[in-house]
Each structure stands twice: as structure tokens, then as C-alpha cells.
Amino acid sequence: MRKTAKWATIVLLIGFLFAAIGALLGGVNSITYDHGFRIVHDGTTTRKLGRIRQVNLKVDGATVELVAGQQARVTISGPEVKATKVNVSNGNLTVSRAAEIPGFGFNFIADQQPRIKITLPQKTLTQLNLKLNSGDLTIRQLTTNTATITLGSGQLTAKQFSVNQRGRIKNNSGDIAFAHTTLNQVTSQLNSGDLAITASHLKGFTAINNSGDTAIEHSQLSGVTSVTNSSGDVELNNSATTGYCLKTDSGEINVHDKQHASPYNHDPNAADRLEIINHSGDIDIE
């Protein structure tokens, strides 16, 4: 027992010694042990890019931001910036980052995640492929023909974001928020989280929510807008359409302050119509 305690003390002393050295060398984020102690530094690096037509991202454990700007570039900041790989080939940008550093050690900055910021000129992308296993994703002022976005755990926030042709957006655990977006033939799927859409134009939009609320406000609905909720309320405010096909297995249906029995249909064959199936929760149209 004494021998084990002695070695534990030595390990701790070495760790703190490395922390002191790291601080003298310009700051330290954490000390980790992986077949030997090493210091994990914070840093920032920026790479300027040429014309980008397609963005492919596969990242584990990072905060990601895609925004509009004059100069295309990728800025990486936080711990272990070199672990994020950036490649450009024929206008295709690929950004990848593996899981967190293996081993054990001391983390001196709580909840510190790498940050990846991709800046692109306001030109239409041909394709947007984003996969983020853990971390938040923000998209602002971007337009793409097609989009495939998958989040394992985190929040997706998109503002002034347009999908011209088709898209599929999935979040396993976390909220999705759209504002001032134009979504054409897009399917949004949540396993656990809320979906909020504000001041947007939805064309043939499909929402599937297994556990959480769905709210659409001040938006224009074109074609068939389909919402399926397994558990949670569905609410639409100032988002008029021509026809309604509304059904709830357990909950109330209210349309413009009038309660209706389930199912409720009004002009169900209209070209522009709203189809809602809610297995457990209310449907409220205002």
C-alpha cells in the first residue's frame, strides 16, 4: 500500500511540474498521460482558402461555426489545433478531427472544446456534408444546393441559411433552431430535442420529432408541410396554409381558438397543406 501511495505521489508531482513548465512556455490547457506525460497547449491557426464549392466535415468533440465572409478561410482554436486536418482538392473542402486525446491527466480549463470556424463568401455551394458527433453547430448566411447534416449530441442553430434543392438534417440529442431560412425539400429529424422555426420559408418540409416540441412561427408554408411528433406539442403561429390534416392520439386540437375532435380535416387535398400526426401531445394552430 505504501509503495502504491509513493508512486501516486510521484505521478502527481510530475504532473504539476509539467503544468508549471507549460505555464512558463505560454500557457497550458491540460496535462495528459499516454505512455508518458505531455502538455496540451491552447492555440489558434488560420488557413486561407480559394474557391470552395463543397464542404465536408467530420468532427468529434468540437464547436463548429460556418459563416459568410469576404475571404474563405478556416480558423481553428483551442487545445491541440494540429489534430484538426484541413484539405482542399478541386474546390472541395474537407475538415476532420478525431476523438479527444487518449489517456488520463489533469484538465485545467473545464469543458474546453476545440473551436472550428469556416468562413465562406456568399456564393452557392453545391453540397454541404456535416457530421458532428459531439458539439454545437452554427450556420449563418450560407446557401447550398444540397445539405446532409448529422449531429450526435449538441445544438444546431441556422440563421439566413438556404437549401435550394434538397436536404436531410438529423440531431440525435439536442435542439434545432431555424430563423430566416429557406428550406426546399428538407427533412428534419430529432430523436430528443425541440424544433423551433421562425420567419422562414418552408417548401415541402418534413419534420420528425421523437421526443420534444415542434414550433413554427411567422413562416411561409408551400407545398405539403408534414410534422410527425411521438411525444411533445406542435404549435404554429402566423404560419398560414390552405389545407389542414390534423390528428392526435392523445391531446387536443385547437385551430384559431376553436377546439376540434381528432382527426380534423379542412381542404385536405389542397396543394399547400399542413399534415400533422401527434401520438402524444397537443396541436395548436394560431
Strand-pair partners of 7: none
DSSP alpha helix (H) spans, 140-225? none
pTM: 0.84
Using the 8-state DSSP alphabet, how is residue 102 labeled? P
Return the C-alpha torsion angle 22, 27, 33, 35, nearest 10: -60
Buried b / exposed e across 69-106, counting CB within 10 Å, b at 16+?
eeebbbebbbbbbebbebebeeeebebebeebeeeebb
Q: What is the pLDDT of residues 145-185, one digit of tens each?
A: 999 999 999 999 999 999 999 999 999 999 999 999 999 99
Report the DSSP pairing between strands 73-79 and 42-48: antiparallel
Integer Cα distance of 99 and 60 in angstroms: 5
Q: What is the pLDDT of residues 14-71, one digit of tens each?
A: 555 555 555 454 444 554 444 444 455 678 999 999 999 999 999 998 999 999 999 9
Q: Which three cell numbers stand for residue 167?
A: 436536404
Q: Which three cell numbers stand for residue 101?
A: 486525446
Q: Distance between alpha carbon 234 and the CA centroid of its chain, in Å?
A: 21
List the single range of 34-38, 84-88, 252-256 with lowest mean pLDDT.
34-38
Kindly list the distances between the CA atom of residue 165 and the CA atoms of 92, 202, 264, in Å, as whole numbers in the listed order: 19, 12, 31
